[in-house]
Amino acid sequence: MTFSIRRCALATLVLTAAASPAAFAQSDQATDWPTRTVTLVVPFPAGGLSDVIGRQLAVLLQKELGQTVIIDNKAGAATAIGATFVARAPKDGYTLLLSSGSTFTVLPHLNSKVGYKLTDFDPVAMVCVAPYVFVVKKDFPAQTLSEFVTYAKNNPGKINNATTGQGSMVHLLGELVASSLGIEMTQVHYRGSSPLMVDMFSGIVDTTEDTMGSALPNIQSGKYRPLAMMTDKRQSVLPEVPTFKELGYPSVIGETLYAVFAPAGAPKPIIDKLNATLRKITTSADYGQSTRKLGNEPKSSTPEELRDLTLQQSRQMRDLIGRLNLKTE
């Protein structure tokens, strides 16, 4: 009996010794990481909402991780340039992507030659959601969504809806609004939000779908008016604005999910550490307050929840793109 116990103990010791180098290596990866600067790639120009979200995260991550976290703006090709760069980066957790919803849910369905796919990335965590609001120019004759529908049906083809480019999220949401309301709107494509805003303010175009963070100051200053929120429920920053859902159009939901992804194959202990750090940040009261001031809603998740939601939204956008027979120019 004593001999058997000693043999079992010896076998356990040998197995532990054999397994421990890999176990320690895995543990050390998370314990030691990061030992140098971490880069968060934002696939948009500096100064916009996505850049603001990224810089806010960089400051908080740097505080939590004890290492410098820098922003690298790699704008262009509807986020494809930045996403492709991260997909091909070293798989060590030092290069990360701040994605917007369209990165994985829209662009791959419009451009089969895009240089990345979702499986090129490991999901880390959601950070926030940017809800959209449907707005009209300041002197548009309709004051409510019901009045807008009546006006549109009495003036078919005369409403110009501004988008940030063919195949953009704003374009898709514009098509969704028109088809759901049963009206005609001419989609006018701009190269980005700046020229779009100029023409909205001057009354050259009639409507657009804007993120709350971008729309809020323009609504508050009277540069244009909100008719309906593209959210599941009313927003605290604009409590008087009804949702499409409560007005009888439950399918009109528009939001951009912001999340952090790493190149596929990054060490799992690092992904787990990053997820825990981001969840600590995004569930804090300070982050919630600062995020809502931007017009966004804080969001937290496990990597698995992020993957599932991304796939779900991707299927929804694929079906919408197919139904509308949309193609890039």
- Domain containing residue 181: CATH number: 3.40.190.10
Residue 245 placed within a domain = no
pLDDT of residue 11: 46
Based on the domain organization, do 223 and 261 belong to the same domain?
no
Beta bridge partners of 225: 136
The mean pLDDT of the chain is 89
Q: Contact 127/288 with Cβ under 8 angstroms?
A: no
Q: Residue 21: pLDDT above 50?
A: yes
Based on the domain organization, do 110 and 94 belong to the same domain?
yes
Based on the domain organization, do 136 and 82 belong to the same domain?
no
Backbone Cα Rg of the chain:
24
- Averaged pLDDT, 303-311: 96
Total tally of structural domains belonging to the chain: 2
Based on the domain organization, do 264 and 199 belong to the same domain?
no
pLDDT of residue 155: 96
Q: Residue 240: pLDDT above 70?
A: yes
Based on the domain organization, do 80 and 219 belong to the same domain?
no
Based on the domain organization, do 118 and 138 belong to the same domain?
no
Based on the domain organization, do 86 and 151 belong to the same domain?
no
Based on the domain organization, do 120 and 153 belong to the same domain?
no
Domain that holds residue 193: 131-229
Residue 136 placed within a domain = yes
- Averaged pLDDT, 37-44: 96
pLDDT of residue 6: 45
Residue 240 placed within a domain = no
State the pLDDT confidence band at 5, using cuts at 50, 70 and 90.
Answer: very low
Q: Residue 29: pLDDT above 80?
A: no
Based on the domain organization, do 124 and 139 belong to the same domain?
no
Residue from 243, 266, 268 nearest 23 by CA: 268
- Averaged pLDDT, 166-180: 91
